Amino acid sequence: MPQMPTSSAPTTRPATPSQWSDVISRQYLEKVLPEHRSSLLGGLQLRPKNVRFASQNKGEKVYILLRKHWLTNLGWITNAAFMSVVPIIIYFVVGLFNQDLIELVSPKLYLLVLVSYYALILTMIIRSFIEWYFNVYLVTNERVIDFDVKVATTTTGSSELALENIEEVKEKSVGILQAIFNYGDVYIYSAAHKSEILFDDIPRPSFVQDKISDLSKLVKETKNGI
């Protein structure tokens, strides 16, 4: 955790979150967060550029953008790949019995079923990708936010916790894959654990835990005039 710079000059205590952020940006941000950078497939972006969201307050800045680790997509990718070859497998299995699948049903029906089947697979791929891409976690100069998008039900939701109300931040990685690929969960708690935000399956959970803790501490110290 970076050492806080000291100054003997008197300071005026900021009154609003955006004013706290100005002080943080001027004095400490370079120490807490490095310059803009992005990990593989944008799973972890530090100080991302041109990121906006509907409930963004005036003066609110996005410091960290997170998505689930790319490895979490392997489940639906594998399913889609397997489903894509099923018609081919069926065609050759029927051929083993000296039968032509197209002759067993009308060509039009065969084509209709085949097109519908692959359209279903394509829909599943698009839905899964959209949900991965738009289900993001944000850390701003004011709060942490968990955005939840469900394409199937066309619903969106979010939960948030102000940086000044964060009491504890924990990270948890379980299993060989999470250890090898360095991803896991980050739990963010308010006082007395009355509220909880979960960043699940994110890249570099220990790093994210440290940065959220640092930013929360900076906001509290700036607000209290320390």
> In this model, does residue 2 exceed pLDDT 60?
no
Local confidence band at 11 (pLDDT 50, 70, 90 cut-offs): very low
Give the residue from 79, 220, 212 showing the smallest Cα distance to 145. 212
pLDDT value at residue 226: 52
* Sheet containing 44-46: order of strands: 37-38, 44-46, 62-66, 137-140, 143-150, 155-162
Chain segment 133-146, per-residue pLDDT in tens: 999 999 998 999 99
Give the residue from 72, 53, 40, 63 showing the smallest Cα distance to 140. 63
Beta bridge partners of 189: 168, 196
Q: Which CATH class is domain 17-68+137-223?
A: mainly beta
Give the residue from 46, 43, 42 showing the smallest Cα distance to 32. 46
State the Cα–Cα distance between residues 9 and 222, nearest whole angstrom: 14
Q: Do 184 and 201 contact (CB within 8 A), yes or no? A: yes
Chain segment 91-128, per-residue pLDDT in tens: 888 777 767 766 777 788 888 999 999 999 999 999 99
pLDDT value at residue 19: 55
Where helices occur in the chain by DSSP H, the ranges are 17-27, 29-32, 74-95, 101-104, 107-134, 176-181, 205-223
Mean pLDDT calculated for residue range 6-20:
49
In sequence order, which residues have a C-beta less than 8 Å from that of residue 125 and are 6 or more positions away?
76, 80
State the Cα–Cα distance between residues 2 and 31, nearest whole angstrom: 6
pLDDT value at residue 176: 92
Chain segment 183-198, per-residue pLDDT in tens: 999 999 998 777 899 9
Local confidence band at 29 (pLDDT 50, 70, 90 cut-offs): low
Mean pLDDT, all residues of the chain: 83
Mean pLDDT calculated for residue range 146-160:
84
Q: How many separate helices (H) and strands (E) can be counted in the chain?
A: 7, 9
pLDDT value at residue 20: 52
> In this model, does residue 30 exceed pLDDT 70?
no
More confident residue, 39 or 72: 72
- Could you tell me where the beta strands, DSSP code E, fall in 19-77? 37-38, 44-46, 62-66
Query: The whole model's pTM is what?
Result: 0.79
Q: How far is CA 139 from the centre of its chain?
A: 11
